[in-house]
Amino acid sequence: MTDNYDVIIAGAGPAGGQAARDLASRGYDVCVLETESRDEFPSRSNKSTAGTFPSTMASFNIPDDVVMHFTDDVILESPNHHYRRHQPGAVLEFADFKNWLVEESEADGAEYRFDARVSKPIMEGGEIVGVRYNGDEEVYGDIVIDATGPSAPLAKALDVCNLRREKQAIGIEYEFEGMNLDPDGYADLTDTMMLRLDHDMAPGGYSWIFHTGEDTAKVGVCYIQNDGHRTNAKSGFTIDDYLQYWVDTDPRFEGAERIAGKQHRGSAHIQLPDRMSTDNFMAIGDTVPTVDPLWGEGIDKCMRSGRAAAVTADRTLMHTNRDTSASELAIYDQLWRERVAPKVKNRLFMTEMLYRASNERYDALLKDLHRFSEEELDAANGGNPLAMFRMLKLEDLSILASTARDWFSN
């Protein structure tokens, strides 16, 4: 091991692993610092539903052997209605997927240091030049990338990101066997990924069932402590209580059993990001708010942010006179907005409106979805203002006004 690298990456999640994979394949000296031990990785950070789509699988050459189950459809549920759309997908085994990223980047020469807890940046002349970890150990690099997720020790120290507690989404997921995926009165969830909008189960958020083969499924709840949560929350309930309440009251869980050791917890911030880079530094993945603001998809967004950072690093490091100044690395911020999360401001506004709506409005929304073409729905989901406006009803004006008021007051 040396102590000087082209690029240092803190965190071996989907963003950090993909950045390491891209940079190592280009021949750069890359060092990845990961908090977990090699033998246990990724036990504590195994916190994703890991649902993704063929476009992601193809874009990043993800192999089939890290897939738990391929799905055919996506289903949206409200308390009394559902909407089905044909959309092939894949539910990944997240631990296998993360280890695959490590193996791929190591095969191209990336060095991983496990049991390496990053604590703070090493500064010279007001700029980051390296990373301190495990107390007093140090490593230096021309570019440092923070991919540690919401803990963000480097990004916070450099005042690059401002992760706001009130915008933090928390989630919990179990894996079950013995599920009844097609009981009377409910949509058939065989070979589907289902998202449910229902404040009774997830006030201010959503819940999900992702079929993982035979009679097994990933089941979870996620919410932000927003107005929707405050209005609909059950007194004294924790996120664990909501998931257990759903399991106790939904016939799809009758006779089902939790699979031992398959419990995942996680968090992400749903907010507009601040700047994402500065001199010699970029923040990627959930270190900045990268998760899809509407449906919570994170793997594709994180990997795209890792790739955008790798493209930016390659652009600055390939020249003999390396210029890794803030002005040069700002191309990453531009790529993030163009390729990782286009129209993110519109989509985030739509998300905040959605989670303020009532269960009755959710029922009406899902009934209305059948009136729109797939092209119109894609445009609305993509943040097209006119397509979003066409989906509004008169009673949504109060939600629109309150959301706008909160936006402009922050």
pLDDT band for 1, please (50, 70, 90 cuts). low
Residue 58 maps to a domain: no
31: tokens are 């060092």
297 & 326 share domain: yes
Say which amino acid occupies 286.
D
Give the per-residue pLDDT at 308: 98
For the chain, count helices (H), then strands (E): 13, 16
Q: How far is CA 358 from the centre of its chain?
A: 25
Q: How far apart are CA 105 and CA 86, in angstroms?
A: 34
Contacts of 372 (CB under 8 A, 6+ apart): 380, 390, 391
- The pLDDT tens digits of the residues spanning 33-46 come to 999 999 988 876 55
Residue 75 maps to a domain: yes
Say how many residues make up the chain.
410
Average pLDDT, the chain: 92
Give the per-residue pLDDT at 407: 83
258 & 316 share domain: no
212 & 259 share domain: yes
Say which amino acid occupies 100.
W
Instruction: Answer whether residue 48 shows pLDDT above 70.
Output: no
155 & 171 share domain: no
- The pLDDT tens digits of the residues spanning 53-93 come to 899 999 999 999 999 999 999 999 999 999 999 999 999 99
132 & 213 share domain: no
Q: End of a domain among 219, 254, 269?
A: 269
313 & 213 share domain: no
224 & 264 share domain: yes
Q: End of a domain among 311, 340, 369?
A: 340
Say which amino acid occupies 342.
P
- The pLDDT tens digits of the residues spanning 368-389 come to 999 999 999 889 888 899 999 8
146 & 9 share domain: yes
269: tokens are 């911030």
Residue 316 maps to a domain: yes
Say which amino acid occupies 213.
G
State what percent of residues in the chain have pLDDT above 70.
97
225 & 149 share domain: no
Domain region containing 335: 4-47+95-163+274-340
Say which amino acid occupies 30.
V
Residue 255 maps to a domain: yes
Q: End of a domain among 319, 340, 361?
A: 340
- The pLDDT tens digits of the residues spanning 274-313 come to 889 999 999 999 888 777 766 677 889 999 999 999 999 9
Instruction: Answer whether residue 333 shows pLDDT above 70.
Output: yes
Angle between helix 299-317 and helix 326-335 axes, rounded to 10 deg: 150
115 & 84 share domain: no
Residue 53 maps to a domain: no
29 & 111 share domain: yes
333/50: higher pLDDT: 333
169/114: higher pLDDT: 114
Burial of 185 (0-12, 13-18, 19+ CB in 10 A): exposed
Angle between helix 299-317 and helix 14-25 axes, rounded to 10 deg: 30
Residue 192 maps to a domain: yes
7-23: average pLDDT:
97
Q: Among 98-107, 226-235, 275-284, which stretch is predicted with the lowest mean pLDDT?
A: 226-235
How many structural domains compose the chain? 3
307 membership: H or E segment, kind and range: helix 299-317
Can you give the CATH number for the domain in which 180 is found?
3.30.9.10
Give the per-residue pLDDT at 237: 97
Can you give the CATH number for the domain in which 331 is found?
3.50.50.60
Residue 265 maps to a domain: yes
Q: State the DSSP code for 39.
A: T
126 & 74 share domain: no
Q: Where are the alpha helices (DSSP H) in 159-280?
A: 227-232, 239-249
E-strand ranges in 60-213 read 67-77, 82-92, 111-113, 118-124, 127-133, 137-146, 168-177, 192-196, 205-211
Residue 60 maps to a domain: no
